[in-house]
Amino acid sequence: MSDLVGWADEYFWGAMVVLRVFAVSLVLSVIIGLVGAAMKLSRSRVANAIAGAYTVVFRGTPELLVLLIVYFGAAVTLTAIAQSVDPSIKFIDIPPFWAGAFAIALIVGAYMTETFRGAFLGVDPGHVEAARALGLSNLQTFIYVRIPQMWRLALPNFGNHMLSLMKDTALISVIGLEEIVFVAEMATSVTTKPFTMFMVVALIYLCITTVITLAVMALEKYANRHLEGSR
């Protein structure tokens, strides 16, 4: 137990890194998801095909592999580009934080695409028609009718994607990000208490995922408040 006290600081800062990666990756994945859904719902067959290929590839490929391709691939590409400009440059890579955030955003973005697409399709066309019949413009209909309804339908799955995203951040330790798994590895080499150290990591993740789950539950209740009380 006393071993832990010495490492509390490192764990704390590692957890901050995790939360930062989570936030960045989440924003990126939502943007990718919305773009992807728009492409899938559009009438352009090219857009449909690209988005379709994207979702299939990034939902079927192991997360670790995507991470490795992005990190090492970017390094190779950047180095090649840099060397063509300045041959003396030996090696350039992107920081693991950004490689990791981007890689995970690509993966979770594929799931988000499907969720947003399904949610948009689930908006009752009757509601949209009613809005038009009342005279609302396209944009107003989109903002005041489509988005709120789509959001409510997307929420449960969106919550699950957020949880996956959070748990995927642990993989970034493999490419060297100094977050809590990394801290545990360091702590283990010093204290030789791997079980304790990794259990702490698990418990930290458990706390974060619990908070996310509770937040999503509260949001779901809020989004569905107009439905409660009906028999």
Partner 1 sequence: MNFDVSLVVESIPRMLEGIGLTLQLLILSSAIGLVLAIITLLMRISGKWFLVAPAAIYIYFFRGTPILVQIFIIYYGLPQLEFIREGALWPVLREPFWCCVIALSLNGGAYVSEILRGGVLGVEKGVLEAASALGISRSQRFVYITSPIAIRLSIPAYSNDMISMVKSTALASTVTLLDMTGVARTIVAQTFAPYEIFIAAASIYLVMAWMIQKGFGLLERRMSRYVKAT
From candidates 8, 23, 76, 190, binder to partner 1 by CB under 8 A:
76
Smallest distance from partner 1 to CB 132, Å: 28
Those residues with Cβ within 8 angstroms of residue 100's Cβ, 6 or more apart along the chain or in another chain: 21, 25, 67, 71, 169, 171, 172, 175, 177
> Which one among 50, 146, 198, 223 touches partner 1, defined by CB under 8 A?
198
Q: Which stretch binds partner 1 (CB under 8 A): 31-39, 42-50, 97-105, 202-210?
A: 202-210
Q: Is 44 in the site for partner 1 (CB under 8 A)?
A: no
Contact 100, 59 (CB under 8 A): no
Q: How far is the CB of 134 from partner 1 (least distance, A)?
A: 31
Separation between Cα atoms, residue 71 and residue 64, nearest integer Å: 11
> Is residue 144 near partner 1 by the rule CB under 8 A?
no
Interface with partner 1, residue 20, by CB under 8 A: no
Shortest distance, position 69 Cβ to partner 1, whole Å: 4
222's CB contacts (< 8 A; 6+ apart) are none
Which of 35, 94, 136, 196: binder of partner 1 (CB under 8 A)?
196
Q: How far is the CB of 54 from partner 1 (least distance, A)?
A: 13
Please tell me whether residue 205 binds partner 1 under the rule CB under 8 A. Answer: yes
- Which stretches of the chain are DSSP H helices? 2-41, 45-60, 63-85, 96-122, 125-133, 138-141, 147-168, 180-191, 194-223
Q: What is the distance between the alpha carbons of residues 197 and 52, in angstroms, rounded to a whole number?
A: 42
Candidates 110, 181, 183, 187; binder of partner 1 (CB under 8 A) is 181
Backbone φ and ψ of 226, nearest 5°: -80, -10
C-alpha 81/C-alpha 73 separation (Å) is 12
Specify the residue, 155 or 200, whose C-beta has the smaller distance to partner 1. Answer: 200
Q: How far apart are CA 13 and CA 8, in angstroms?
A: 9
Q: Phi/psi of residue 43, each to 5°?
A: -85, -5
Could you say whether residue 114 binds partner 1 (CB under 8 A)?
A: no
Q: Which member of 188, 219, 220, 223 binds partner 1 (CB under 8 A)?
A: 188
* CA distance linking residue 183 with residue 105, whole number of Å: 24
Where does this chain touch partner 1 (CB under 8 A) — which range of 25-33, 132-140, 161-169, 216-224? 161-169
Q: By CB under 8 A, is residue 54 in contact with partner 1?
A: no
**Can you give the binding site for partner 1, defined by CB under 8 A?**
56-57, 59-66, 68-69, 72-73, 75-77, 80, 163, 167-171, 173-174, 181, 184, 188, 192-199, 201-202, 205-206, 209-210, 213
